[in-house]
Amino acid sequence: KNQVEQSPQSLIILEGKNCTLQCNYTVSPFSNLRWYKQDTGRGPVSLTIMTFSENTKSNGRYTATLDADTKQSSLHITASQLSDSASYICVVSELTGGGNKLTFGTGTQLKVEL
Amino acid sequence: DAGVTQSPTHLIKTRGQQVTLRCSPKSGHDTVSWYQQALGQGPQFIFQYYEEEERQRGNFPDRFSGHQFPNYSSELNVNALLLGDSALYLCASSNKSRLAGPYEQYFGPGTRLTVT
């Protein structure tokens, strides 16, 4: 069964600090991996999308890495801000005959405090 | 350029009732996917529509059905509501021509359904 596991489940950091969120997956055949940011009660917003051939991608203060061999990804947040408080969801896409099929992780709940 | 819109924002229903949720995709998108997100969980894929037909389906019972209209908007219908159907229902739109690749998917704000 295709699975996406994220760690830690929750994290509290001080404003200005960096943090790294982890994602391990068993999805196969792999198509691409996405990181989304979801504010409470809102829809997810895409941060990065990486294909098999990409091992790093940045979007402002967010940098995602991908190791397709070990099936691991990380999301690094630099100089955190209060507005970074949200759930960060790792999503892995499986390539099927009908197109991409997405498997979502349960997310890491990040809280940035003063 | 309007993004993905969903209605209603919130909804309260009683067990056994039926509900219809609506979604309008982002301008230029023709594919709509529906997700159920329970509190503290990641979204679970329900189904995907394009060209007015259901193209992919997740592990949801037949109580969950949908429809896509010629203008690409979509409805999600849930019959015989159960308490466990309480969740945030998300709609996401994308472009069919990109589905084979790392297509971008835009989510709406969701509809919060509470079943009592």
pLDDT digits (tens, 9 = 90+) for A57-113: 999 999 999 999 999 999 999 999 999 999 999 999 887 766 677 889 999 999 999
Beta-carbon contacts of B92 under 8 Å, excluding residues fewer than 6 positions away, are A43, B4, B32, B33, B34, B35, B105, B106, B107, B108
In angstroms, rounded to a whole number, what is the distance separating the alpha carbons of residues A80 and A67? 24
B103:A100 CB<8 A:
yes
Q: Which value, in Å, is the radius of gyration of the alpha carbons in chain A?
A: 14
In angstroms, the CA A64 to CA A68 distance is 13
Report the pLDDT value the prediction gives residue A91, as an integer from 0 to 100: 93
How close is the nearest chain A Cα to the Cα of B65, in Å?
A: 19
Does the CB of A97 have a partner CB in chain B at under 8 Å? no
Taking the Cβ of residue B69 and every Cβ of chain A, the question of whether any pair is shorter than 8 Å is answered with: no
- Taking the C-alpha atoms of residue A19 and residue A51, their distance in angstroms, rounded to an integer, is 23
Say what the pLDDT of residue B22 is: 98
Interface contact A43-B4, CB threshold 8 A: yes
- Please tell me whether residue A83 adopts helix, strand or coil conformation: helix
Q: What is the pLDDT of residues B38-87, one digit of tens each?
A: 988 899 999 999 899 998 898 999 999 999 999 999 999 999 999 999 99
Burial class (CB in 10 A: 0-12, 13-18, 19+), B67: middle
- Among B53, B59, B93, B105, which would you mutate to test the A interface (most chain A Cβ atoms within 10 Å of its Cβ)? B105
Report whether the peptide linkage leading into residue B25 is cis, meaning its omega lies within 30 degrees of zero.
no
A93 in contact with chain B, both atoms CB, cutoff 8 A? yes
